[in-house]
Structure 1
Amino acid sequence: MNAPSPEPAPGISDDDAAAVAAQLGRPPRAVRRVAHRCACGLPSVVQTAPRLADGTPFPTLYYLTCSRLAARLGTLEAEGRMREMTDRLAEDPELAAAYRRAHESYLAERNAIESLGTEVSAGGMPDRVKCLHVHAAHALAVGPGVNPFGDEALAEVGEWWAAGPCASCRESTHPGE
């Protein structure tokens, strides 16, 4: 099954838009730029506009596109990792302070693009852990040491890229290819 044709994404190249569409199984929306590339060279995280073209707030500034990494993070979520992380926030003041700084950093980045007039960031920050995909995407986009739970989740999933690209971005002309 071929991925849907991507709509133009003004912030990224046509090839990157096609790769993201193949990864997501749908055209990307509100993409501003590729925020992180996998070791295979494909986008793994895109930065999105704070609002969709129709004005609707977009749920996250950094959107994870790598389907293989998303699947591994989904497994961690199914195992209850988010609840464990949230519990640790109440027990570890240093961790809670680092997580609050990640929240503040996230808001500052988003507000530098466009303020949504809210202190809500993403992934449950700063009081709980709601979505490991958001935290991992944030950690990949900004680098290690900013989002402690993103860093932790990425360390736990290991080298998700080792098996090669998560998506084929070329049109196959041979069945089974």
Structure 2
Amino acid sequence: MVIEPMTTADEAVVTEQLQRRPRGVVGVAYRCPAGHPGVVATLPRLADGTPFPTTFYLTCPRAVAACSTLEASGLMTELSERLAAEPELAVAYAQAHRAYLTAREAIAADTVGPVPEIAEVSAGGMPARVKCLHALLGHALAAGPGVNPIGDLTLALIRDRWPFPCRAGG
């Protein structure tokens, strides 16, 4: 996984996407085909000392809206039920949890050091349930295909239903 340094131009785009200045950003973890930041990597401890477990923060407004729509449809419950019923999916999701923690630990080692308060907490409900499609999609986009099965499924559903990734604009 490659995390690119965030430029001044990237920060301006992310600020517009979020409608606020981003906090604790290490760099850009995913860009859409148009080159805009879509996921930023964040520090596991913010400047004010707050632990922050969401390492891969989804910023693309289209992806955020699409995830919100999927969440409102009840998809998270359905996916959590699939985890209970499909052992292979559960194993792959547990591996995604470990991959997430490994990526965050690498960021911490290079920046803020260990953050014991969130040592076994990843994001999105991993490894036992599906809680936040935004976080899972952010991880899938940052890590690439095959790392987070629920994030990959979310991406497939978004591509089928929404114009994502964007082709122009942020």
**Alignment TM-score > 0.5, same fold:** yes
Q: In the alignment, which of 71, 78, 83 is matched to residue 77 of structure 1? A: 71
In the alignment, the residues of structure 1 paired with residue 134 and residue 11 of structure 2 have an alpha-carbon distance, to the nearest angstrom, of 20
The answer as to 2:148 corresponding to 1:154 is no
Aligned residue for 2:105? 111
- Show structure 2 runs of 5+ residues with no match: 109-113
Question: More helix per residue: 1 or 2?
Answer: 2
**Cα offsets for 1:27-72 (capped at 9, x unmatched):** 0110001000011111000000101001101130000000111001
Kindly report structure 1 stretches of 4+ aligned residues shifted beyond 4 Å: none
Aligned residue for 2:133? 132
Aligned residue for 2:122? 121
Q: TM-score, normalised by structure 2?
A: 0.88
In the alignment, the residues of structure 2 paired with residue 56 and residue 46 of structure 1 have an alpha-carbon distance, to the nearest angstrom, of 18
SS at match of 2:20: coil
Q: In the alignment, which of 34, 38, 53 is matched to residue 40 of structure 1? A: 34
SS at match of 2:165: helix
Fraction of identical pairs, as percent? 55
- Show structure 1 runs of 5+ residues with no match: 1-10, 167-177
Aligned residue for 1:170? none
- Give the number of aligned pairs: 156
SS at match of 1:160: coil
Q: TM-score, normalised by structure 1?
A: 0.85
In the alignment, the residues of structure 1 paired with residue 36 and residue 84 of structure 2 have an alpha-carbon distance, to the nearest angstrom, of 38
Instruction: Tell me how large the CA RMSD over aligned residues is.
Output: 1.1
Q: Is the 8 A contact 2:62 2:166 kept in 1?
A: no
Q: Which structure has the larger Rg over C-alpha atoms?
A: 1
In the alignment, the residues of structure 2 paired with residue 141 and residue 84 of structure 1 have an alpha-carbon distance, to the nearest angstrom, of 24
